[in-house]
Structure 1
Amino acid sequence: MTAGLDLGRSQTQPIVSDQDVVRVRKLVRTVAVETKLSLVDQTKLVTAASELARNTLVYGGGGEVQVSTVDNGRRKGVRISFSDSGPGIADLDLALTDGYTTGGGLGLGLSGARRLVDEFDIETAVGEGTRVTVTKWSR
């Protein structure tokens, strides 16, 4: 984690159904508003969270999300970490390529989410699962 980073309030929620994906969107929107992100940044963060929550459910077989407020001393932000114990991602470079999909979708999930946030980190191991952590900072 970033040096000097103050982790504020944190909430964890399971992702095991489509309704949980909706709950993640609502939770992220609420925390983004409370953190005073601009409307554009709120929308970007909620969109990225929605994509990542759906990936956690569909490709990871479900998991959980942790939503935290963060403060680096200069500005505040929202950090979201999605984790699952699914099959992991065999070819991460390929999975992060625009247009790549294994599910017949548009292939914008991971690469699109990465473009919508300020910080993007992914850890994955085949047979062990995946953790994606994103952060959006206030402007």
Structure 2
Amino acid sequence: MQKIEIMSIQSGTDIVLVRQAVRQLSIELNFSLVDQTKIVTAASELARNTLNYGGGGTVKLETLEDDNRRGLRLTFEDQGPGISDIELALKDGYTTGQGLGMGLGGTKRLVNEFNIVSRVGEGTCVTITKWR
């Protein structure tokens, strides 16, 4: 049975709550410990980006069933300044803040599916999916 939950990301506490919810769903989906860690790490990074760069937003958590596999899809949305050059933002070492610039590219490597749509002045939507 599919589960869908939408969570607000407006503070550091919300990032912790997102991490906990993602871990719980990944356990319910019988993800391996390694895959649990990957999806929680990716969720943490994107939740932090949503807060720090997008000024806050939401994440939609969805459990998926497709033939013989199960997965978890996370969609992070904000109405922040947007990303003018997505290709550049995905390169390791690129940052517009204080981080190491590993966030988006690193997140992409942790999941099976990664999609980003961003419009300058309108915001960013990042969708990731991890399959078991």
Query: Any gaps of 5 or more consecutive residues in structure 2?
Result: none
Question: Counterpart of 1:60?
Answer: 54
Provide the residue aligned with 2:39 in structure 1: 45
Structure 2 partner of 1:31:
25
Determine the structure 2 residue equivalent to 1:112: 106
Tell me how many residue pairs correspond in the alignment.
132
Moved over 6 A (4+): none
Deviations along 1:50-101, one digit per CA (max 9) or x if unpaired, are 0000000000000000101001112001000000011110111110001101
Using the size of structure 1 for normalisation, the TM-score is 0.93
Q: Does 1:121 align with 2:115?
A: yes
CA distance in 1: counterparts of 2:98 and 2:60, whole angstroms: 28
Given candidates 78, 81, 89, the residue that maps to 2:75 is 81
Over aligned residue pairs, what C-alpha RMSD do you find? 0.9
Counterpart AA for 1:134: I
Name structure 1 gaps, 5 residues minimum. 1-6
Structure 1 segment 6-25 matched on structure 2, within 5 A? 8-25=2-19
SS across alignment from 2:40: helix
**Whole-angstrom CA distance in 1 between matches of 2:8 and 2:80:** 14
The TM-score normalised by the length of structure 2 is 0.98
Name the SS for the 1:103 alignment partner: coil
Cα deviation, residue 8, structure 1:
1.1
